[in-house]
Chain A
Amino acid sequence: MSLYISNLGIPTTTYSEQDLIVALKERNEQAFGYLYDSYSGALYSIIKQLIIDNNELASDVLQEVFINIWRKIDSYDQTKGRLFTWMLNIARNASIDTLRSKSYQNSQKNQELPDNVYKGGNNQTTQVNIDNIGLKKILEKLKVEHRVLVELAYFKGFTHEEIAEMQGIPLGTVKTRIRNALIQLRDYLK
């Protein structure tokens, strides 16, 4: 860890990935602040891609994700991948859990009620914005049959078996199509 003094005289600390992990495992509050500053935007982006049109709920999930990172940091194993990969999967899982929670399901039902029409326009604009960020955006470049499966697997959290049943296609086909879709996505990542 090295300490830099900025021109304004405000000390800011930067960490190497290794130092950061050590400090996080020591439950260093400053390190968690740094973690938030560096990664909250990327994590918030994925949360918003899953939890569409509900900024308040997305913020709550983001907070839950950081608390989970704080709680589970000891179980993070560097040999199994980068810190970011680990955190992003926590964010994705927390979002999927929220989507599946009873309270969220109920709120969705309520929004389908006819007396809730004003929300329609708002809904669409947010939808468009969300489609313009991150993975959602490059997903547009895939063929429909690939895109739908990645949507269900990555953004809705369904297992391959569930998708096969839902879509009425063989499990083997689901697996192959998702693999092929991911290979294509890799080439679109810049």
Chain B
Amino acid sequence: MNVQEYISGGIIESYVMGLATESERLEFEQKCAQYPEVAAAFREFEEKWEKFALQNAVPAPEMVKVRFLEAIRNTASGNTPSFNQPKIITMENEKEPVRRTGGSRFLAAASVILLIGLAWFAFQYNSLKSTNADLSKTNNSLKTTLNSKDSILNQILAEDAVTKDAVSNPNVTVVNMVGTGSAPKSSANVYWDSTSSNVFLVVKNMPALPTDQQYQLWALIDGKPSDLGVFDATNEKVILKMKNTKKAQAFAITIERKGGSPSPTLQKMQSLGKTTIKQ
């Protein structure tokens, strides 16, 4: 390609003035990227064009600036600023000639324009309303997501703290609850701090239960069971703060009716773990 010929062939002027066709534009943009001379000549003409336009400026109405800045100020980002202004003004432009030919025609024209204006406002109002509804829906679902993420995060943090504590604190006993014959897959760990009496239960996998039943954790103290609280079935790892106990030779988990029982149903014992601490 003869670059000089391309540059002086009028394409630059055509492109800048908005007279080039789509294919000419694409070709020109590609040539600009390919040939620095084309890009330089393009910049040079643009500057000349801008300078010429600025030299030939005519004072613009200050009122337009006021209205423009007002329109963008009143418009929250994303909404469309008022566009019907020109339509309403057009009505006034038409007023003069039409009025001479009869007031009824003017009224007819005015009412049509008013209707268009009202329809436009109604449309705008409805679209804003639905945008608003969509936004609050999104907001709610984000809140829900955030809450669930928060609780997961808190669990992770709490578990982490308990685990660290268990590792570093010689007073914490970790009891691995082993599934019994009736529930071989049940799995949970009890973290028991014998000095503070705190009991945490890390549930790893407990099979689902009918809705009227819950699991119940027991501490076996001198052969007698003592209630440590109820919890729901889950196959996700969760950490639960159970009731405190000062003593325990073993922990047991049974299936009980919702809310728990005063004494364990031993044939429904799901898992059992013995402490190694001598009481």
Contact = CB atoms under 8 A, between A and B. Distances in A.
A111 B94 CA distance: 9
Nearest to A70: B72
Given A48-B58, A84-B50, A115-B101, A154 B17 contact: yes
B10 A189 contact: no
B85 A88 contact: no
Nearest to B50: A84
B57 A44 contact: yes
B105 to A, nearest CB: 10
A133 B84 CA distance: 30
B87 A103 contact: yes
A54 B187 CA distance: 84
Size class of the A contact interface (CB-based, 8 Å)? 35 or more
Given A44-B57, A107-B90, A186-B13, A82 B18 contact: no
Size class of the B contact interface (CB-based, 8 Å)? 35 or more
B170 interface: no
B13 A185 contact: yes
Contact of B93 (A42, A56, A62, A67): A56
A64 B60 contact: no
Contact of B57 (A41, A103, A104): A41
A36 interface: yes
B11 to A, nearest CB: 8
A62 B10 contact: no
B174 to A, nearest CB: 56
A56 B50 CA distance: 25
B68 A63 contact: yes
Contact of A183 (B13, B21, B100): B13
Contact of A71 (B65, B81, B86, B97): B81
Nearest to A90: B18
Contacts of A160: 21
B13 A60 contact: no
B61 A82 contact: no
Contacts of B60: 36, 40-41, 43-44, 59, 62
Contacts of A46: 53
Contact of A67 (B57, B81, B98): B81
A70 B82 CA distance: 12
Interface in A104-144: 104, 106-107, 110-111, 113, 115-116, 133-135, 137
A96 B59 CA distance: 21
Residue of B11, B53, B63, B90 with most chain A CB atoms under a 10 A cut-off:
B53
Contacts of A178: 10, 14, 19
Given A29-B73, A93-B18, A103-B94, A183 B56 contact: no
Contacts of B48: 186, 189
Interface of A: 27, 29, 32-33, 36-37, 39-46, 48, 54, 56-57, 59-64, 66-67, 70-71, 80-82, 84-85, 88-89, 92-93, 98, 103-104, 106-107, 110-111, 113, 115-116, 133-135, 137, 153-154, 160, 178-180, 182-183, 185-186, 189-190
5 contacts: A61-B86, A82-B46, A82-B47, A85-B46, A180-B10
Interface of B: 8-11, 13-19, 21, 29, 42-43, 45-61, 63-65, 67-69, 71-73, 77, 80-81, 83, 85-87, 89-90, 92-94, 97-98, 100-101
